[in-house]
A and B are shown apart, each in its own frame.
Chain A
């Protein structure tokens, strides 16, 4: 079994969409090679513990679980930690805006490390090839110059002024348009994307990906949408995001090595990969070793 670095151990880690967990029924999952069980108590609050002999679907009295792992709810998901997590989860302030449609869009298992999936989420160059005619289309393949910084104050990677021509940027988009993105990586295994909303151009739709590192080479992607969209149904919005993710999955599963290599000499970056390079350096500096191939010392 792989060892879990202290930074990863002390992070909040996503494990399930809150509304998919039934009160008093056991859900079993895997986090950082560790068997986890969870349920919700009568208040709806999450109860998470190290799984013993419970089986998926067993009924359980949550009050009988004494030895609990830390647990919180945030952005529609349940988060836990194997170590000592910070008091709060990273902020996504838009989530609280009253006119937004917030929804979880499903949890999708992927046979690749969590950091590889984060990097794919930050990448625009693949839009015409992987999300053909939705997020991109040949011949509009150019990734224009954009800005990247690692904010020390907020301890996150931030990419701004990312522009890309998209035939159908969102469900509510009809014509192709150049879309501006902002990406944040506020957590080693989570990323948040802001894009101009087709319905309200002055505001931004928010799409976040929270990755549950199950093993070093397997993860589950949990998706959040926080949209300005008064016409589409939640089912349609979910379906749109699942289509996008369904297109990424086979590409990610054909990536080798499955762990993200942090040695700059293991792959060949181009200018379009600025955000990925910043992300890799940030992971390296934080001392993350889980799900990555650290730079040989």
Chain B
């Protein structure tokens, strides 16, 4: 039998006990090294043991509970997806590109961790697996070919009760199952399962038998020529990742989610739990939001409230506004549990730096949603933060989630208007190096925080905020020319009209939704010319890149723009 790198069989690669709290275990299967770690939510991850950045083993990294942190440059990778969520060398940028480690399938069962080289086979319990209280034996590494180890194990069976050979280097006799983990062509690990909890005499006996077997098999293997080791290749990263990172705006696909739960989180705040139909959702970073495609055709943005590595569902909070124009109103009134919704992949215009000595989070009302996520990330990494949550009486959303945090969470409920300013001032305090404040809430509050922070010596770069609505006054006074490269058209944009309107006037069908520079639907690639950005969708680095624009509000600083339309 020759081992194959593409063997789809599930093999045990570790015992459950090898994965204690916050540990990273180095596993091996079919010539590959694996970083195996259990997140605080119990999920077991089996990843290629190599950071995509500089190739350092992830098994020497730090298990932070929801993320794995590489030892070399501190890159963080999310539980389940292995997507990169943070690059400390560039703390102010959200990792725009989709950097994702190679993952392998995993199943935890019968006290063992199982994995396979690929997803080609569905995990099947071995015959007779169900209904027993399995006890995994101490693993026995053997420097010999897996098939030789299996043959030696078969010879342990008594003559009158020959071993029952099963698929996947497995055999069974008496009340014991033996699995040979093919580490490499010339290396194996014997993993045994006893069908009941053993006494110490039984364990000693098993250990002695397997130790003798190991010595015998290794002596025989030493006399044979060593088999050629398997030679797995490291997969190449995508061409997009390999080039010097220009700022690129990800045009994510939409995905379908199920409304798993809908509940009233506070007066006027409805929580929605959105789950994938199978597997897990994409990696997100603290502060990220999704676009939600509503049944009435509108697109609205909602922040993800989840913590690190929490990808089994996204939880969002929706404010029930009586005067709403049909965005949150549709969600609150007509979307029910079990309904399917279309969402975008997460985008992040509100990235959280994790290089602060002190982080102040200030939320007003429904603005708590991105800050709850940030607080959860800071909490998991034991970073210093204070969360100030301003609400009207009775409107405290996500109270139990906030109370579960270990950091400083201060509720300012029903504060009279005149006290809000002074409370914000004392919450901020004087600025010193490496302090950052993040604020999300009504625009009046944003302005108060910005002004107060500035007056207390906080530099602009340390004040972070996010708009969901574009409250800026759009300056549409410029006039310029737009060339549509693919449509071979040249249009004159007069003052008072948007690019989008002029394109429509000329018979072009261009997608758009909010038409206030907030939703991202009309995102267009810019090939030439300098853009006068007026939207709140693109983040600052994306704007600076001058490679894309929102045609609904943004205009040209140069006399001419060339667009990829």
Contact = CB atoms under 8 A, between A and B. Distances in A.
A271 interface: yes
A142 B242 CA distance: 21
Contact of B90 (A142, A250, A255, A267): A142
A255 B56 contact: yes
Contacts of B73: 125-126, 129
B57 interface: yes
Interface in B533-553: none
Given A139-B357, A140-B355, A254-B60, A271 B90 contact: yes
Given A129-B71, A277-B244, A141 B52 contact: no
A272 B72 contact: no
B121 to A, nearest CB: 27
A271 B91 contact: no
A254 B237 contact: no
Contact of A142 (B54, B56, B243, B355): B355
Contact of B56 (A139, A251, A277): A251
Nearest to B357: A139
Interface in B50-74: 50, 52-57, 60, 71-74
Interface string A204-223: 00000000000000000000
Nearest to B70: A129
B204 interface: no
Contacts of A138: 74, 88, 355
Contact of A255 (B55, B245, B383): B55
Contacts of A267: 52-55, 237, 242
Interface in B82-105: 87-92, 99
Contacts of A256: 33, 50, 55-57, 234
B244 A269 contact: yes
A139 B54 contact: no
B237 A141 contact: no
A254 B89 contact: no
Interface string B225-238: 00000000010111
A254 B56 contact: yes
Interface in B349-379: 354-357
A265 interface: yes
A130 to B, nearest CB: 7
B89 A139 contact: no
A140 B242 CA distance: 26
A190 B241 CA distance: 28
A128 B434 CA distance: 15
A129 B72 contact: yes
Among B33, B54, B71, B241, the most chain A Cβ lie within 10 Å of the Cβ of B54
A142 B234 contact: no
Interface in B32-52: 33, 50, 52
B502 to A, nearest CB: 37
Interface residues of B, number: 36
A68 to B, nearest CB: 39
Contacts of A3: none
A72 interface: no
Contacts of B238: 265
Interface residues of A, number: 32
Given A265-B239, A267-B53, A277-B244, A142 B72 contact: no
B382 to A, nearest CB: 11
A264 B56 CA distance: 17
A268 interface: yes
A139 B436 CA distance: 12
B88 A125 contact: yes
A297 to B, nearest CB: 16
B540 to A, nearest CB: 15
A277 B92 CA distance: 22
Nearest to A277: B244
A224 B531 CA distance: 51
A142 B355 CA distance: 8
Nearest to A256: B55
Contacts of A130: 71-72
A265 B434 contact: no
Interface in A99-148: 119, 124-126, 128-130, 138-143
A139 B245 contact: no
Interface of B: 33, 50, 52-57, 60, 71-74, 87-92, 99, 234, 236-239, 241-245, 354-357, 383, 434
Given A129-B72, A251-B72, A267-B242, 18 more contacts: A126-B73, A128-B74, A129-B73, A140-B434, A141-B89, A142-B90, A142-B91, A142-B355, A254-B60, A255-B54, A255-B57, A256-B33, A256-B55, A263-B242, A264-B243, A266-B242, A271-B89, A271-B244
The 10 A-B pairs with the shortest beta carbon distances in the complex, nearest first, are A141-B88, A139-B355, A272-B89, A125-B89, A264-B242, A265-B242, A265-B236, A143-B89, A254-B57, A268-B52
20 contacts: A126-B73, A141-B74, A142-B90, A143-B90, A250-B60, A251-B72, A256-B56, A256-B57, A261-B55, A264-B242, A266-B236, A266-B242, A267-B53, A268-B53, A268-B237, A268-B242, A269-B53, A270-B90, A271-B89, A271-B245
